[in-house]
Chain A
């Protein structure tokens, strides 16, 4: 089944404790991105990757890191999480075909930083 998976789905952590949220897709998509979703603020892009070893900042990259060593994986790293990073995080991947660029979203990771 074509899908984007994220782990963990839920995480409660404390300020300053490094964490990684994994994202994996099995559709051979070259484009992947991370979003955070907060009430009243919609979806905001954190980082994106056009392909392996190619990453770039989105709209709200501060406090986050990413890597793209393999096409299927795009982990999101919070080196020193803070309470303002409490949010719902979505990973997405997409493939441009026939002019249509469809984004497939993972199920989301709900992060709470105390």
Chain B
């Protein structure tokens, strides 16, 4: 079935360094969502991207949707310990509401 590949699986950074996670699909996506799951918590919706080439920012977080709508990235500038968690992308490939989930990128931040 359809898959969304998310890399890297893990990332360990020093506080203040930047972090990026990528999601890639072999097929065109209708939209892509990003979620954050803190350790011991549940996934929390961050954002949805719909348009080709779309870029959205939330404070230190920058989200991009590729021109071909087959890839997306989440970039965090100057990480903080509060950014620790697993970041998931989830995509819609058709007209239904079923999401195809990436496996997540776990971010650890050394203070």
Q: Select one of A31, A42, A100 contacting B101, CB under 8 A.
A: A42
Within 36-55 of A, Cβ neighbours of B (below 8 Å) are at: 40-45, 48, 50
Q: How large is the interface on B (under 10, 10 to 19, 20 to 34, 35 or more residues)?
A: 20 to 34
Judge whether A81 is part of the interface by a CB distance below 8 angstroms. Answer: no
Which candidate, A18-26, A65-73, A101-109, is the interface stretch facing chain B? A101-109
Judge whether B13 is part of the interface by a CB distance below 8 angstroms. Answer: no
- Contact, CB under 8 Å: B42 / A31: no
- Contact, CB under 8 Å: B42 / A107: yes
How many chain A residues touch B (Cβ–Cβ < 8 Å)? Answer: 25
Within 68-111 of B, Cβ neighbours of A (below 8 Å) are at: 88, 90, 92, 97-99, 101-104
Contacts across chains A and B counted by CB atoms under 8 Å: 51
> In the complex, what distance in Å separates the CA atom of A92 from the CA atom of B50?
21
For residue A43, which residues in chain B have a CB less than 8 angstroms away from its CB?
43, 88, 90, 101
Judge whether A94 is part of the interface by a CB distance below 8 angstroms. Answer: yes
Q: Select one of B48, B101, B102 contacting A101, CB under 8 A.
A: B48
> In the complex, what distance in Å separates the CA atom of A45 from the CA atom of B43?
14
> In the complex, what distance in Å separates the CA atom of A40 from the CA atom of B41?
17
Q: With A43-B90, A94-B97 given, can you name 19 additional A-B contacts, CB distance below 8 Å?
A: A40-B103, A41-B103, A42-B88, A42-B101, A42-B104, A43-B43, A45-B98, A58-B98, A99-B31, A101-B31, A101-B33, A102-B48, A103-B33, A103-B45, A103-B99, A104-B45, A105-B44, A108-B41, A108-B42
8 contacts between A and B (CB under 8 A): A31-B97, A43-B43, A90-B43, A101-B92, A103-B99, A105-B43, A105-B44, A107-B42
A residues neighboring B (CB under 8 Å): 31, 40-45, 48, 50, 58-59, 90, 92, 94, 96, 99-108
Task: Enumerate the 4 nearest inter-chain pairs by beta-carbon distance, A residue then B residue, closest first.
Answer: A42-B103, A105-B42, A43-B101, A102-B45
